[in-house]
């Protein structure tokens, strides 16, 4: 983490996010951390997640409720329409798509996000 001065709570939030593969919401992070950190507020979690995202240390993902990802390398995601879970997909990032967008639009393309949606394996088993 670069930029702002060190904060124990920011470090705690960042480490918890890095340890998770769930792409949690701020509310989820708060619920995970609150039992062992009684002085932690939901506002502190939101502020620190947004600060980390602004610094580029994490990625802010615009779903109906913002989620966060400590993996800042470009990669695609899958969101389950049934349970709302978000998963990383082990597919390569296609830089050729950025070049195609540039050629077709003339815009300076700096990257793209890919989000697949459908029913996850766990929900398929239940239905």
CA–CA dist 33, 74 (Å, integer): 27
Chain centroid offset of residue 92 CA: 18
Is 120 labeled as ligand-binding?
A: yes
5 and 28 in contact (C-beta within 8 Å)? no
CA–CA dist 58, 8 (Å, integer): 17
Is 23 labeled as ligand-binding?
A: no
Q: What residue ranges in 22-70 does DSSP mark as E strands?
A: 59-61, 67-69
Is 117 labeled as ligand-binding?
A: no
Chain centroid offset of residue 28 CA: 12
What are 40's two structure tokens? 């932690």
- Bridge partners (DSSP) of residue 61 are 67
As annotated, the binding site includes: 80, 83, 112, 120, 123
Query: Residues marked as binding for Fe cation?
Result: 112
Q: Which residues are annotated as a binding site for Zn(2+)?
A: 80, 83, 120, 123
């Amino acid at each position: 983490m670069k930029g702002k001065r060190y904060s124990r709570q920011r470090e705690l939030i960042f480490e918890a996010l890095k340890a998770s593969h769930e792409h949690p919401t701020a509310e989820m992070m708060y619920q995970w951390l609150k039992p062992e950190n009684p002085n932690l507020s939901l506002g502190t979690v939101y502020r620190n997640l947004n600060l980390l995202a602004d610094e580029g240390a994490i990625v802010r993902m615009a779903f109906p409720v913002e989620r966060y990802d400590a993996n800042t390398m470009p990669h695609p995601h899958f969101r389950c329409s049934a349970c709302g879970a978000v998963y990383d997909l082990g597919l390569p990032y296609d830089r050729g798509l950025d070049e195609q967008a540039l050629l077709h639009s003339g815009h300076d393309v700096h990257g793209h996000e890919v989000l697949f949606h459908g029913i996850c394996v766990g929900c398929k088993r239940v239905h």
